Amino acid sequence: MNKPLVMDSLKLLQVPQGEFELVRKPRNELLQAWDAADEFLLNYVDEIKVLSRHGKLLILNDAFGALAVALANHPVYSWNDSFTAQLALRENLLANGYPAEQVKTNSGIDFPTVTVDCVLIKIPKMLALLEHQLYVLRQVLDHDTHIIAAGMARNIHRSTLELFENILGPTTTTRARKKSRLILVQRDQSLKEGQSHYPDSYELQVDRNYRIINHASLFSRDRLDRGSQLLLEHMPVAERYRRIVDLGCGNGVLGIIATALNPKASLLFCDESYMAVASAEENFRAAFAQTREAEFRVADGLQGLAADSRDLVLVNPPFHQQHNVGDAIAWQMFKQARTVLVAGGELRIVGNRHLAYHSKLKKLFGNCETVAADSKFVVLSSIKHS
Ligand SMILES: C[S@@+](CC[C@H](N)C(=O)[O-])C[C@H]1O[C@@H](n2cnc3c(N)ncnc32)[C@H](O)[C@@H]1O
């Protein structure tokens, strides 16, 4: 059967390095797994012949593996804080005839300690993550390493360029092509020393005082998010909540307060960000040392967790994936939560009012109660009946 043309053009990246079939994670047949900045970067790398056959390459923040797959016939190292990005990379390598291990990957916390000839950087949504990465990079880059960053022009600001200039050295930008831009950077070894400000921290006062540390890629790094605050004020407390999940845990605030208020509970903290799970683990240990039980899991949501195994799932769902806004991940999280909950178990979430999670939950669980609301957020609860 012929596939519709529009689907093919959404899946097939055509660049000088070849044609590559690419998908996103989570799957989304209506969105491409690359953007114009990836295309611009791959064309530029080919035009200026920056890579010799054996030239080593480090790629940062490659959303679904488009850059690494297109350049996979070189020794490539991919540094990414996102587990789902790494999953997409492996799947896309396999789909394009490479073994899944063709590209070596490092998590957000572990930096690849190789010497490379060229560094390609996709501008991440969090400027703090970029800042942290540039500070780490400056320790390992030589004067003659090619450093090329790329992003959509709307995401490249004066402050973005200043980061490159202040941390690495002289920085110029190209003209825009298809609304994307490249940033070309020269490493200046004489720049004065400096170091990453991350992890940073804030104080949280609930039943007692907590110091909450946050690695660079984290959501709401300098203060508690207002939505999370509303959920903390309406945290479920009951004897029957013995196995609690903090899904999309970020720095772990929801799970930590659930632990404090439910003295017999054990916790599972999950996030697809390595830096998030590392922050949650540090914060949990600082709050409870070894007195309470918890597991920490970097994964795509609750994938792989046994069905009917948890009593309560807490979520403040993400409403964007890098620069794209959408509710696909929230929807995936709600469906996974329903699967892992026992009969009688509860999903409690907080979300922006305008996202209309109420109707989604009603459809999925057959019930949804509004527990609390303010001008911007709602706390919703759904019970799994069977
Ligand atoms: C709005 S933040 C909430 C963080 C924290 N729970 C809080 O309330 O401050 C959403 C979190 O979901 C995580 N996330 C996004 N996609 C995910 C996925 N596919 N699986 C697990 N976590 C994910 C993000 O990394 C982020 O930490």
Distance 1 CA to ligand 1 centre (A): 39
Q: Are residues 60 and 139 in the same domain?
A: yes
E strands, the chain, are 12-15, 18-21, 57-60, 76-79, 104-106, 118-122, 146-152, 171-173, 180-185, 200-205, 209-214, 243-247, 266-271, 294-298, 310-315, 320-321, 324-325, 341-352, 369-373, 377-383
Residues 42, 76 contacting (CB under 8 angstroms): no
pLDDT at 139 over 90: no
pLDDT at 8: 62
pLDDT at 104 over 70: yes
Place of tokens 């957000």: 108
CA triple 44-14-154, angle to 5 deg: 55
- Confirm whether 195 is domain-assigned: no
pLDDT one-digit tens code per residue, 266-316: 999 999 999 999 999 999 999 999 999 999 999 999 999 999 999 999 999
pLDDT at 309: 98
Is the CB of 248 within 6 Å of ligand 1? yes
> Which of 64, 316, 376, 379 to mutate for ligand 1's pocket (most ligand atoms within 8 Å of CB)?
316
Distance 162 CA to ligand 1 centre (A): 29
Q: Are residues 135 and 220 in the same domain?
A: no
Q: Are residues 170 and 217 in the same domain?
A: no
pLDDT at 2: 47
CA triple 196-66-142, angle to 5 deg: 40
Q: Are residues 210 and 252 in the same domain?
A: yes
Q: Are residues 181 and 208 in the same domain?
A: no
- Confirm whether 226 is domain-assigned: yes
Q: Distance between alpha carbon 364 and the CA centroid of its chain, in Å?
A: 26
pLDDT at 3: 47
The type of residue at 97 is G
pLDDT at 1 over 70: no
Question: 173-177, 213-217, 239-243, 326-330: which has the minimum mean pLDDT?
Answer: 326-330
Q: Facing residues of 247 across strands? A: 270, 315
This prediction has a pTM of 0.95
Mean pLDDT, residues 31-55 taken together: 91
- Confirm whether 367 is domain-assigned: yes
- The conformation of residue 214, written as its DSSP 8-state character, comes to E
Residue 23 sits in which domain range? Answer: 5-185
Q: Are residues 85 and 165 in the same domain?
A: yes
Shortest-distance atom of ligand 1 to CA 249: 6
Per the model's pLDDT, the better-predicted residue between 84 and 107 turns out to be 84
- Confirm whether 194 is domain-assigned: no
Q: Are residues 15 and 101 in the same domain?
A: yes
Ligand 1 atom 13, closest CA: 248
Q: Are residues 121 and 244 in the same domain?
A: no
- Confirm whether 310 is domain-assigned: yes
Q: How many domains, in total, are found in the chain?
A: 2
- Confirm whether 193 is domain-assigned: no
- Confirm whether 147 is domain-assigned: yes
Mean pLDDT, residues 95-107 taken together: 95
CA triple 159-160-165, angle to 5 deg: 90
Residue 199 is inside which H or E element, if any?
none
Cα–Cα separations (whole angstroms), residue 216 to 108, 164, 260, 265, 366: 9, 16, 26, 29, 39
pLDDT band at 7, cuts 50/70/90? low
Is the CB of 301 within 6 Å of ligand 1? yes
Residues 189, 198 contacting (CB under 8 angstroms): no
Q: Are residues 100 and 204 in the same domain?
A: no
Residues 211, 285 contacting (CB under 8 angstroms): no
Q: Are residues 175 and 288 in the same domain?
A: no
Mean pLDDT, residues 187-199 taken together: 90
pLDDT one-digit tens code per residue, 319-356: 876 666 678 899 999 999 999 999 999 999 999 999 99
Contacts of 377 (CB under 8 A, 6+ apart): 226, 227, 230, 350, 351, 352, 353
Q: Are residues 206 and 171 in the same domain?
A: no
d(C-alpha 385, C-alpha 366), whole Å? 8
Ligand 1 atom 17, closest CA: 272
Q: What is the CATH number of the domain that holds 159?
A: 3.40.50.150
pLDDT band at 5, cuts 50/70/90? very low
Mean pLDDT, residues 93-106 taken together: 96
pLDDT one-digit tens code per residue, 198-236: 999 999 999 999 999 999 999 999 999 999 999 999 999
Task: From 161, 185, 209, give the residue that closes a domain.
Answer: 185
> Which of 27, 86, 256, 272 to mutate for ligand 1's pocket (most ligand atoms within 8 Å of CB)?
272
Of the candidates 363, 177, 374, the residue with the CA atom closest to the CA atom of residue 382:
363
| Percentage of the residues of the chain whose pLDDT score is greater than 90 | 83
Q: Are residues 148 and 211 in the same domain?
A: no
d(C-alpha 378, C-alpha 345), whole Å? 20
Contacts of 341 (CB under 8 A, 6+ apart): 308, 310, 311, 312, 313, 347, 384
The three-class DSSP label of residue 172 is strand
Distance 71 CA to ligand 1 centre (A): 30
Is the CB of 327 within 6 Å of ligand 1? no
pLDDT one-digit tens code per residue, 353-369: 999 999 999 999 999 99
- Confirm whether 14 is domain-assigned: yes
Contacts of 251 (CB under 8 A, 6+ apart): 212, 213, 214, 218, 276, 279, 280, 283
